[in-house]
């Protein structure tokens, strides 16, 4: 079986770094050369570890990126302490002092690694902000700094005692490493899938480091350690193992395998895992008075050491309490935001339910209207036929023939409205075809003028005689125009009348339609297309009409906008792209035509019996454009 390049790289690292270090430690006698070799190798192995760990920090999940970067930060801090150690032994060519000034770096390098565990990179928790993770890390860092200052620093600077210093440092460092190892062990046992394998390798690397660190510290205290000895083998192996764990994780995460959904067991345990950081914060704050009480009541340390510890405790109490309060403040803000979002979601759900119920009612009403329209069509056909016969009967007096012509005109108009009702009640699939925008616009105006007889509202249609051909769904575009006209009518009802001017014109390669009313205007035009935003009274609008119109226009490759006019009222502007190969030439003699409909639409000119069928067909093609009944009623302003 052919091995992957990453596998060969790990084999080479284990062979050259670990095996080579062991061979040199066994074959070369202690001296400057072995010391220089050991120091250089211990500066290089953290680089290998960082190379493997940071390969995984390029995902789209900030928790996973931060997890690997914090592990790499711990390795980098250890390398910084090792560089200081190398400076003493290689550059200054003198033994490293004990206590060593860089011991605090060696101690604190594990803190970012413990903080990485608090991020729970295997869990999908996007509701916590990244600033919470920063505060958790600062809280953890502050607490471990306090422990170091309380337990170790007094024997290093306040009253230097090498034996007490070494013993305190070893015990505290061991506790820190054990916490890190136990944390990785818990994650290893409680996760499933690829992350279980990743945590297992990190656990082994951390255990190897803890063992090597303890061994080296004890050897230093008893005077048996020298750089390049076999005591360094577990330490070298731990960093190579950290790098190998990173390479293995990167190979496993290819194809987003680690980004897949958690197992049910992991999801069930997520709540308990995510709450341990808050418990740790409470434990850290509560540990301060306990430590101070122990120092005053039980400790046998000199008074100068006790006084230093009390001062450190007071400073840490202020810092940790401030961090805990800040974290709690952020948590409260997050909970308030989630509560507001939940309330908004419930309100939107209630509106959606009401809208659905209203849509069901309108669907039933549309079916009823369709049935009634079909029944009305039958006698209308007879009226048209008989009126045509009467009008063409030369034996009839001229006055009766004129009345028969008027009956025919009004019957044809009624038939046109009935056909619009039939189209209004249909629910047709989306089908884009070449269409005349003037026909669609006239159909929307005629539908909306049916109930304006007793209102002081006029609709004026101003359209260029020749407009480019569009490609779209006439059913959906009629719905858009009908909603825009209805919104304007509803707004002008508040001012007890007004005029809606509908303009259709050609602008470069687009057809522009403007719906300008003389109503009170819109309070916030920037929000008018947002779902569930409505300025109408409760129960009259559900806030979905204009958002649906926006989506339809976007689907047609156009743009819809809204603004308030300086002279009063609002204007909705719709831009639709024309079909480029079918752009007609602009007519120099064309003038806008106005359709004023305070109560009724203009009656068509009388027609002869021979052209009645053709006129009816033409009228039907002009004004009959289907639109779903369930969506045409979703209006807002």
Confidence bin at 361 (pLDDT 50/70/90): low
Residue 544, classed as helix, strand or coil, is coil
Q: Is the pTM of this model over 0.85?
A: no
Answer yes or no: is pLDDT of 145 > 60. yes
The angle formed by the CA atoms of residues 446, 449 and 451, to the nearest 5 degrees, is: 135
559-581 exposure pattern, b = at least 16 Cβ within 10 A, e = fewer: ebebeeeeeebbbbebbbbbeee
- pLDDT band, very low/low/confident/very high, at 627 (cuts 50, 70, 90): very low
Determine the Cα–Cα distance for residues 574 and 514; give it in Å rounded to an integer: 6
Residue 567 in 3-state DSSP? Answer: coil
User: Which pLDDT score, from 0 to 100, does residue 623 have?
Assistant: 37
Q: Which residue has the higher pLDDT, 637 or 400?
A: 400
Confidence band of 446 (pLDDT split at 50, 70, 90): confident
Among 266, 262, 282, smallest CA distance to 187 is for 266
pLDDT at 610 over 70: no
Please give the backbone phi and psi of residue 78, each rounded to the nearest 5 degrees, phi first: -60, -40
Give buried/exposed letters for 590-615 (b at 16+ CB in 10 A, else e): eeeeebebeeebeeeeebeeeebeee
Cα–Cα distance for residue pair 199/191, rounded to 1 Å: 9
Phi, psi (degrees; rounded to nearest 5) at 499 = -130, 130
Least confident of 144-148, 186-190, 272-276, 609-613: 609-613
Residue 475 is part of a domain; what is its CATH number?
3.30.565.10
- Phi, then psi, of 564 in degrees rounded to 5: -90, 135
Place of tokens 């970067």: 69
| Range from 50-59, 101-110, 275-284, 553-562 carrying the lowest mean pLDDT | 275-284
Regarding predicted confidence, which is higher, 450 or 23?
23
What confidence score (pLDDT) does residue 217 get?
A: 87
CA dist 435 and 441 (Å) reads 11
Confidence class for position 396, pLDDT limits 50, 70, 90 = confident
**Looking at residue 241, what is its pLDDT?**
95
Instruction: Mark 298-322 as b/e (b = at least 16 C-beta within 10 Å).
Output: eeebeeebbebbeebbeebeebbee
537/523 Cα distance (integer angstroms): 14
Considering the domain boundaries, does residue 393 fall inside one?
Answer: no
Of 376, 379, 359, the C-alpha closest to 427 is: 359
Of the CA atoms within 13 Å of residue 395, those in its CB half-sphere come to: 1
Instruction: Report residue 204: phi and psi, to 5°.
Output: -65, -40
Identify whether 322 is part of a domain.
no
pLDDT-derived band at 606 (thresholds 50, 70, 90) equals very low
> What's the residue count for the chain?
637
Q: What angle do CA 317, 318, 324 make, to 5 degrees?
A: 85
C-alpha angle with apex 599: 593 to 604, nearest 5 degrees? 50
Q: How far is CA 327 from CA 129, 140, 284, 331, in A?
A: 11, 13, 14, 6
pLDDT, position 278: 66
Asked, for residue 481, whether it belongs to a domain, the answer is: yes
Please check whether residue 395 lies inside any domain of the structure: no
The percent of residues in the chain predicted with pLDDT above 90, rounded, is: 32
Beta-carbon count within 10 A of 342 CB: 10
More confident residue, 564 or 588: 564
Residue range 357-381: mean pLDDT, rounded: 72
Query: Hey, what are 44's tokens?
Result: 């290089």
388 within some domain: no
How do residues 281-303 score in pLDDT, each as one tens digit? 778 888 899 999 999 999 999 99
- Nearest-angstrom CA–CA distance, 536 and 523: 12
- Residue 631: is its pLDDT beyond 60? no
Q: What tokens does 327 get?
A: 């974290």
The CA-based angle 299-300-303, given to 5 degrees, is: 95
**Cα distances (angstroms) measured from residue 206 to each of 62, 240, 478:** 23, 11, 69
Is there a domain that residue 490 lies in? yes
Per residue in 409-435, pLDDT tens? Answer: 878 877 776 766 666 555 445 578 888
Task: Give the number of C-alpha atoms closer than 13 A to the C-alpha of residue 254, restricted to the C-beta side.
Answer: 7
Q: Please state the φ and ψ torsions of residue 189, each to the nearest 5 degrees.
A: -80, -25
DSSP 3-state of 573: strand
CA distance 598 to 575: 27
* 437 neighbors 502 (Cβ within 8 angstroms): no
Question: How is the beta sheet containing 498-507 ordered, strand by strand?
Answer: 457-463, 498-507, 510-516, 570-577, 559-564
Percent share of the chain, pLDDT over 70: 78
Give the per-residue pLDDT at 635: 37
- Mean pLDDT throughout 218-239? 91
Q: How many CB atoms are closer than 10 A to CB 586?
A: 12
Say if CB 522 and CB 533 are below 8 A apart.
no
Q: What value does the CA radius of gyration of the chain take, rounded to a whole number of Å?
A: 41
pLDDT for residue 135? 79
Q: Provide the pLDDT confidence category of residue 77 given band limits of 50, 70 and 90.
A: very high
pLDDT at 393 over 90: no
Residue ranges making up the domain that contains 565 = 429-632
DSSP state of 56: T
* Counted domains in the chain: 2
CATH of the domain at 239: 1.20.1070
In a domain, 283, yes or no: no
Long-range contacts of 18-23 (CB under 8 A, 24+ apart): 18/233, 18/236, 18/237, 18/240, 21/232, 21/233, 21/236, 22/230, 22/233
Give the pLDDT confidence of 528-578 residue by residue, as tens digits. 777 666 666 555 554 457 877 888 888 888 999 999 988 888 999 999 998
Nearest to 206 by CA among 25, 191, 198, 15: 198
Task: Say which residue, 309 or 550, is predicted with more confidence.
Answer: 309
Q: Which of 217, 241, 274 is the last residue of a domain?
A: 274
Q: What is the mean pLDDT of residues 309-320?
A: 94
Average pLDDT in the 394-415 region? Answer: 81
Are 621 and 397 in contact, with CB atoms under 8 Å apart? no
Of 635, 625, 629, the C-alpha closest to 368 is 629
Q: How far apart are CA 207 and CA 32, in angstroms?
A: 30
User: How far apart are the C-alpha atoms of 63 and 127, rounded to whole Å?
Assistant: 12
Rank 237-241, 276-280, 525-529, 564-568 by mean pLDDT and report only the highest. 237-241
Instruction: Indicate the average pLDDT of the chain.
Output: 79
- Residue 35 confidence (pLDDT) above 60: yes
DSSP 516: E
Query: Which residues touch 529 (CB under 8 Å, ≥6 apart)?
Result: 546, 547, 549, 550, 560, 562
* Residue 491 scores a pLDDT above 70: yes
Phi, then psi, of 413 in degrees rounded to 5? -65, -40
The pLDDT of residue 593 is: 39
Place of tokens 């209004």: 424
- pLDDT tens figures, 244-260: 999 998 887 654 444 44
228 within some domain: yes
**Cα separation values, 624 from 417, 440, 442, 614, Å:** 8, 8, 9, 15
69-73, 264-268, 572-576: which has the minimum mean pLDDT? Answer: 264-268
* 469: three-class secondary structure by DSSP: coil
The secondary element (H helix, E strand) that includes residue 73 is: helix 62-86
Q: Among 134-143, 501-510, 589-598, where is mean pLDDT lowest?
A: 589-598
């Amino acid at each position: 079986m052919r091995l992957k390049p990453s596998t060969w790289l790990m084999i080479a690292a284990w062979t050259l770094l670990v095996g080579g270090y062991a061979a040199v430690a066994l074959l070369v006698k202690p001296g400057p050369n072995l010391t220089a070799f050991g120091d250089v190798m211990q500066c290089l192995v953290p680089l290998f570890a960082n190379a493997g760990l940071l390969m995984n920090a390029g995902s789209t999940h900030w928790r996973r990126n931060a997890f690997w970067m914090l592990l790499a930060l711990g390795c980098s801090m250890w390398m910084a302490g090792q560089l200081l150690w190398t400076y003493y032994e290689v550059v200054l060519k003198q033994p490293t002092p004990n206590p060593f000034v860089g011991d605090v770096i060696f101690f604190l390098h594990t803190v970012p690694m413990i903080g990485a565990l608090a991020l729970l990179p295997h869990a999908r928790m996007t509701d916590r902000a990244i600033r919470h993770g920063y505060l958790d890390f600062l809280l953890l860092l502050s607490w471990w700094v306090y422990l170091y200052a309380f337990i170790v620093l007094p024997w290093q600077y306040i009253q230097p005692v090498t034996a007490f210093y070494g013993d305190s440092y070893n015990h505290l460092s061991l506790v820190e490493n054990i916490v890190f190892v136990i944390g990785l062990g818990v994650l290893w046992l409680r996760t499933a899938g690829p992350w279980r394998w990743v945590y297992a390798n990190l656990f082994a690397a951390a255990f190897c480091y803890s063992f090597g660190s303890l061994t080296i510290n004890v050897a230093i205290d008893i005077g048996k350690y020298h750089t390049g000895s076999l005591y360094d083998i577990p330490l070298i192996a731990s960093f190579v193992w950290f790098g190998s764990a990173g390479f293995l994780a990167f190979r496993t995460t290819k194809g987003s395998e680690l980004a897949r959904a958690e197992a049910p067991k992991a999801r069930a345990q997520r709540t308990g895992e995510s709450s341990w950081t808050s418990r740790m914060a409470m434990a850290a704050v509560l540990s301060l008075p306990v430590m101070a009480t122990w120092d005053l009541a039980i400790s046998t340390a000199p008074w100068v050491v006790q006084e230093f510890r009390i001062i450190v405790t007071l400073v840490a109490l202020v810092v940790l309490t401030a961090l805990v309060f800040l974290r709690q403040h952020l948590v409260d803000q997050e909970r308030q935001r989630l509560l507001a979002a939940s309330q908004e979601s419930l309100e939107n759900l209630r509106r959606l339910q009401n809208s659905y119920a209203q849509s069901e009612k309108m669907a039933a009403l549309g079916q009823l209207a369709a049935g009634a329209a079909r029944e009305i069509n039958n006698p209308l056909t007879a009226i048209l036929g008989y009126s045509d016969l009467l009008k063409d009967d030369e034996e009839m007096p001229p006055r009766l023939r004129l009345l028969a012509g008027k009956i025919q005109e009004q019957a044809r108009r009624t038939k046109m409205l009935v056909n619009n009702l039939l189209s209004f009640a249909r629910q047709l699939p989306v089908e884009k075809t070449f269409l005349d925008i003037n026909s669609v616009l006239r159909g929307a105006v005629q539908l909306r003028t049916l109930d304006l007889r007793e209102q002081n509202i006029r609709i004026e249609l101003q359209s260029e005689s020749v407009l480019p051909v569009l490609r779209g769904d006439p059913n959906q575009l009629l719905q858009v125009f009908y909603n825009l006209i209805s919104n304007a009518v509803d707004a002008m009802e508040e001012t007890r009348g007004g005029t809606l001017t509908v303009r259709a014109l050609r602008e470069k390669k687009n057809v522009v339609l403007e719906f300008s009313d003389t109503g009170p205007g819109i309070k916030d035009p920037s929000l008018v297309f947002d779902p569930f935003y409505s300025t109408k009274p409760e129960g009259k609008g559900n806030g979905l009409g204009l958002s649906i119109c926006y989506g339809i226009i976007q689907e047609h490759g156009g743009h819809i906008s809204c603004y308030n006019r300086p002279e009063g009222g609002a204007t909705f502007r719709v831009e639709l792209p024309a079909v480029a190969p079918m752009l007609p030439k602009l007519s120099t003699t064309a003038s806008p035509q106005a359709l004023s409909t305070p109560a009724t639409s203009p009656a068509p000119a009388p027609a002869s019996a021979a052209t009645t069928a053709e006129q009816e067909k033409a009228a039907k093609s002009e004004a009959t454009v289907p639109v779903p009944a369930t969506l045409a009623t979703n209006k807002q302003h």
